[in-house]
Chain A
Amino acid sequence: MNLLFSIGIQCVQSILLIAIAPLLIGWIAQNHAWLSNKTGAGLAQPYRNLHKLFLKETVLAKNASVLFRSAPYIYFAAMCSITLIIPVFWSHLVFSDIADVVALLGLFALARIFLALAAMDVGTAFGSMGARRGMLISFLAEPAFLMVFFNLALMNHSTSLTQIVTTLLAHPFAINPSLAFAAIAFFMVLLAENARIPVDNPTTHLELTMIHEAMVLEYSGRHLALIEWGNHLKLLNYFAIAIDLFCPWGITNTPQMTALISAIPIFIFKLLVLGSSLSLFEALTAKVRLFRAPEFLTSAFILAILGVLIQLLVMG
C-alpha cells in the first residue's frame, strides 16, 4: 500500500511536470510580451505550437542515419527521466535513490551529446557549427554546475537530492552567504544551458548568432516537437532543481494528503515567480557576443568555487 502510494505520487509528479512545461514557457513568453508593451499570444501558445508540429509531416535528409532519427526521442526521454529524480512535492521519492546529483548531470549531458551528434550527423554547415558552439557553452557550464552541487553536498553531507532537500527542510532558516554565491552561479548556468538571453537568444533565427537553434535546424514535424517539448521540460527541470536547492520550503517530508495538496500551489507559485524574474532579467540584459560567453561562464565557475570555499571556511 505504502509503496503503491509512493509510486502514485511519483507518477502524478512526473506527469504534472511534463504537462505544465509548455505552460511555463508560455508564461515566460507572456511576461516578455507584457514587458515590451505587447498583448502576447497567451499562455497556451506553446501547446498550439506543439500540436501543429505533431501534425506536420516529418522531413528527413537523405543521408540521415538512425542517430538523427533517434536523438529527439533520447533527448525527450532523458528530460522525462530527470523529472523522476527531482523532489517537487514530497522529498522521499521512490526513484530518487537511483540517481544522485552527479548522475542527474550525466543525464543532462547524455541529452546534450545526442543532440550535438545528431546535429553533426546530416553534415550541414549550420548543424555542426551549432553543435560545436553548444558543446563549448556546455563544457564550460558543467564544472560550475557541479561546484554548485558540491557546495550543497558539503553542507548536507550527501549528494542525493532527496537527502539535500530533507536536511535543508529540517534546518531552521539561516542566512548563508555560500548559498547566495551558489544561487547566482546556478542562475548563470541555467541561462547558459537553456539558451537564454545573455548567451543565446531562444527566438533568434539569425544564422550568425544562434547556438541552440542551429543545432536543431534540420529537424521538422514530430521530431522538432519532441525537441521543443524537451527544451521546455529542461527549463522546468532547472527551475525545480533551483527550488529544491535554494528555496525548498513548501516541499513536505511526510506523506500526508493535506501537505501534499498544499505543496502543489506553492510549487506553482514559485515557478511563476521564477519565470517572471527570468523574463525580467532577459528584458534588462543584452545578448553577449559568443566569445564573451566563456567569460560569463568562468564568472559562474568562480562564484561557485567561492561558495564552496566559504562553505569550507564556515565548517572550519
Chain B
Amino acid sequence: MDSVIQQLIHFFSALMLLLNFSMLAQRRVLALIRLLALQGLVLSMNIGCIAYASSLPEFYISLILTLVLKVWLIPFILHRLLIKLGMQGKIELIINLPSILLIGLALVIFAFALSASFAQNRTNHLALALASVLISSFMLIIKRKAISQVISILALENSLFFVVSSSTYGMSLVVELGIAFDVLIGLFIFGIFFLRIRENFESLDVKHLEQLREE
C-alpha cells in the first residue's frame, strides 16, 4: 500500500472522529444533517482512496453507491422530512456540553487503549475509527429528539462502515448493497414513524413516549 494513501486514510479517520465530535456538540438539527452529509463525503473519499490503491472495480461501485446514497439522497430525505415536520430552526436540548465532551474524550482514550491490544500493524486508523463508533453510539444516547436519534444511528452506520472499509479494505459488494438498501428502507420507515409520533404527541421529543405505558 502506498504511503500517501496510508496517510490519507489516517487523515480521513481523524476527520471522521472530528465530525462525530462536532455532531455530538451540535444543537441545530439542520446543521446535524449537513454534518451527516459531510461524514458521508469523508467516507466516500476514504473508499475512493482504497479503490485507487487496490484497483478493484467493485470498489468504484461502492464509491458511487456511497456518494449517491450517503452524501445526497439520505441528507436530502432528512431535509425534506425536517421541512415537512416544520422544525427547520428547532434546536436540540443538550445538558451540560462540557461534560458530554469530556465523556467523549474518555471514550476516545478507551478506544485507543482497546485497539492497542490487537491489530498491531493497522492500529492507527482502526483506533480512530473505533473511537468514532463509540462516540456516535454515545450520541445516540444523549440526543432527545427522535429525528436527531435517527441521524445518530446513521452516523453510527457511517462509522461502522468506515471501520470495515479501512480495516479489511472493503467487503463483498452483495453485503454492501444489502446494507445500503436496508438503511434506505429504514429511513423511510423512520420517516413514517416521525409523522405518526408527531400526530400523537405534537412533538418529536422522545420523553413523551414514556406516557405509553400499559396500566
Contact = CB atoms under 8 A, between A and B. Distances in A.
Interface of A: 174-175, 177-178, 180-181, 184, 294-295, 298-299, 302-303, 305-306, 309-310, 313-314, 316
B97 A298 contact: yes
Interface of B is mostly: helix
Contacts of B13: 177
Interface of A is mostly: helix
A309 B109 contact: yes
B142 interface: no
B98 A181 contact: no
Interface of B: 7-8, 10-11, 13-15, 17-18, 21, 25, 97-98, 101-102, 104-105, 108-109, 112, 123-124, 127-128
A276 B25 CA distance: 27
Given A298-B101, A306-B105, 18 more contacts: A177-B14, A177-B15, A180-B15, A184-B18, A298-B98, A299-B25, A299-B97, A299-B101, A302-B21, A302-B105, A305-B105, A306-B17, A306-B18, A306-B21, A309-B112, A313-B124, A313-B128, A314-B124
A177 B112 contact: no
Contact of A309 (B7, B18, B108): B108
A174 B7 contact: yes
A303 B13 CA distance: 15
17 contacts: A175-B8, A175-B11, A177-B15, A178-B14, A180-B11, A180-B15, A180-B18, A299-B25, A299-B101, A302-B101, A302-B102, A302-B105, A306-B21, A309-B109, A310-B14, A314-B124, A316-B123
Contacts of B10: 175, 177
B11 A177 contact: yes
Contact of B14 (A180, A294, A299, A305): A180
Contacts of A180: 11, 14-15, 18
A184 B17 CA distance: 14
A216 B120 CA distance: 56
Nearest to A174: B7
B33 to A, nearest CB: 19
Contact of B112 (A175, A298, A313): A313
Given A174-B7, A298-B101, A181 B25 contact: no
Given A299-B25, A302-B102, A306-B105, A313 B11 contact: no
